[in-house]
Amino acid sequence: MTATADGSTGAVQPGVRTGGGPVAPAPTAPAIPAAAPAGDSATTPAGDPRVTDPRALAERANARAVAHLLALQHEEGWWKGDLETNVTMDAEDLLLREFLGVRDAHTTGAAARHVRSRQRADGTWGTFHGGPGDLSTTVEAYVALRLAGDAPEAPHMRAAAGWVRAHGGIAGTRVFTRVWLALFGWWRWTDLPELPPEIIWLPKWFPLNLHDFGCWARQTIVPLTVVSAYRPVRPAPFGLDELHRDPARPNPVRAKAPAYTWDGAFQRLDGALHAYRGVALRGLRRAALRDASRWIVERQENDGCWGGIQPPAVYSLIALRLLGYDLDHPVLRAGLESLDRFAVWREETADEPGGGPAGAPVRMVEACQSPVWDTCLATVALTDAGLPADHPALTRAADWMLGEQVVRPGDWAVRRPQLPPGGWAFEFHNANYPDIDDTAEVVLALHRVRHADPERVDRVVRRAVRWTLGMQSANGGWGAFDADNTSELPDRLPFCDFGEVVDPPSADVTAHVVEMLSRAGHRDHPANRRAVAWLLAQQEPGGAWFGRWGVNYLYGTGAVVPALVDAGLPATHPALRRAVHWLVDVQNEDGGWGEDLRSYRDPDWAGRGASTPSQTAWALLALLAAGERDGDAVRRGVAHLAGTQRADGTWDEPWFTGTGFPWDFSINYHLYRLVFPVTALGRYLHGGTGTSTGTGDGTTTGTDERDGRAR
């Protein structure tokens, strides 16, 4: 097998201009990959100075893209693009199957081909396209290939192992990686942070109770307390000495931080919890495990998954197996079947060599599935593109979205016990964790469709608006899943060394809510005015806004500017002019916009990266909303989208422009490359204000108690 790089290098990007001041020094980070060639372009190449009629280019590109998007709709009315993350999903899926004793050769071989196809030229695996090698990801990928039978002497395995040793070995990996290794005796449980199951009893007012954590962390921590209590070890099928710097001392002692620091205090707390393990009353421990088991089972969704995402599902399956559930138990059987539905199968190609013959099966595991998100974005895009509001594709989409509203309480109700439900989740099945972002975008989509039953739409929208207003945090913004989930303590725990574990308000989610409320007739609602003030206070000195759920400042700015305009700010407002200045300043020479994920760690990367279709569209949405339709930046941006479009009407986008956790966990939403360019081109051509179906704040509808969705 020949390893392939997942990115190339290009010229270092220019410095970042901040708020009209001097140009900052160019980034010292590695150079950004150059933009992909246009390929089979159907129009004038991007950035060509001969472009004189961007409207004609936009019309042709828009028509082709709309046709492609319509062809992707499922007969039930929804859209869903692949959700690509990194190979830890595939590696952990194989490790789970090995732990449960259900791993088979066909699944293993197909997964290994995907893992091999993502290996970089230096032997490593990264967390996003073109990004640097990541130690934990590389270790997990290496172990997965060992499970698949790849010999440690093979060139691609030697390269990976050598890089791992040079960068700290297994001892340098994050806690979650070492938990997986401990399951097979490759790491000692005693050298991992302690997670006692008794934490499930901490009241909601007590520091570090479960509801101080974001919902994704909460769903993972509870099953991991069970795993931590049992400390299981399955016989390892092979050793991993080649991944240790010193196999004779695989677990080096780490120095503690001073006791007066937060890190030092929590390290000593962890030491106390390790001591507690030895004296914990057996009856108390059994009761805590019973309650943890009940908590896990109660939150299993109808499709067998947990929260519609892969990580809590794999840990929940391990926990329940340790608690005595056999593999034929309906809970475990449904859980394993749900994970199979997260698999995307394709055939081996010459472009992604995975070590198999052409046409060999390749299996990628999605961390999550995004049908609600993709469907509402596609609906908005198609209406912006000029599709009639009563087009059959739009009414089918509206019917499906109406049936997906969650109308039963979930964990969010702990902080808002009196608030009637009414949101939407991201996934097919996730009645426990609807989110504010999807809810806002679904309402925006429903407002644009001329439905045969407008009264039903009106009832659904009123319920959603009421729920969204009730989920506002005290500071005026909105988080994704919970209200006032802002404690700083969870991030200090030794266990939490990866990703975000809390869910504070973010500019992008708040902007989507502001846009929704303004379009739904609540522009002057006090909650909306507070949110606008909060957004204005969040603007960066250079004019951009931080993007929590998309990469990064381009995503945040592309969301906030249209929202503020819808909320009534004039295009001449100083905040909007600063945003326009920043966007024009960071536009690439080819006319597009791009931003590398390294901007989450280094602000010199803000707005800097290879031009991508989705990020170009976000910049255009902001500029169009701010009244720049006839400006040179918009003309060049439209020409770039038209000039890089493929013959089939979509665009290439290997770059990751979605965010799970800033820097740590990145997402390539495969539909982003289509829906956002369609939206931007449509608003350039038509303005795209949408059609209202009416709003209010009153009634409820019937509920299907089986899954908590509206009938």
- The catalytic residue positions are 437
How is residue 279 written in tokens?
A: 């004296």
Residue 428: CB partners within 8 Å, gap ≥ 6? 303, 308, 369, 371, 372
Distance CA 650, CA 673 (A): 7
Residue 687: CB partners within 8 Å, gap ≥ 6? none
Place of tokens 């192992």: 161
Ordered DSSP codes for 559-580: HHHHHHHHTT--TT-HHHHHHH
Q: Is 92 in a helix, a strand, or coil? A: helix
Query: Residue 669 forms beta bridges with which residues?
Result: 83
CA atoms within 13 A on the CB side of 296: 31
357 burial (CB, 10 Å; 0-12 / 13-18 / 19+) is exposed
Q: Is 583 in a helix, a strand, or coil? A: helix
How is residue 233 written in tokens?
A: 């070890």
Residue 677: CB partners within 8 Å, gap ≥ 6? 61, 65, 613, 614, 616, 617, 641, 645, 651
Spatial strand order of the sheet with 83-84 comes to 83-84, 665-669, 658-661
CA atoms within 13 A on the CB side of 299: 27
Place of tokens 């914990």: 280
Q: Does the CA dihedral 390-391-394-396 come out positive or negative?
A: positive
Q: Is 704 in a helix, a strand, or coil? A: strand
Q: Does the CA dihedral 63-64-65-66 come out positive or negative?
A: positive
Element holding 661 (H helix, E strand) = strand 658-661
> Do residues 604 and 29 lie in contact, with contact meaning Cβ atoms separated by under 8 Å?
yes
β-pairing, 361-365 vs 709-710, is unpaired
Distance CA 262, CA 191 (A): 20
Distance CA 711, CA 697 (A): 19
Element holding 446 (H helix, E strand) = helix 436-446
Distance CA 657, CA 650 (A): 16
Q: Measuring CA to CA, how many Å separate 442 from each of 57, 369, 670? A: 30, 16, 19
> Do residues 634 and 46 lie in contact, with contact meaning Cβ atoms separated by under 8 Å?
no
SS (H, E, C) 291-352: HHHHHHHHCECCCCCECCEHHHHHHHHHHHHHCCCCCCCHHHHHHHHHHHCCEEEEECCCCC
Query: Residue 365 forms beta bridges with which residues?
Result: 343
Q: Is 679 in a helix, a strand, or coil? A: helix
> Do residues 393 and 340 lie in contact, with contact meaning Cβ atoms separated by under 8 Å?
no
> Do residues 369 and 83 lie in contact, with contact meaning Cβ atoms separated by under 8 Å?
yes
Helices (H), 169-281: 175-182, 215-230, 262-279
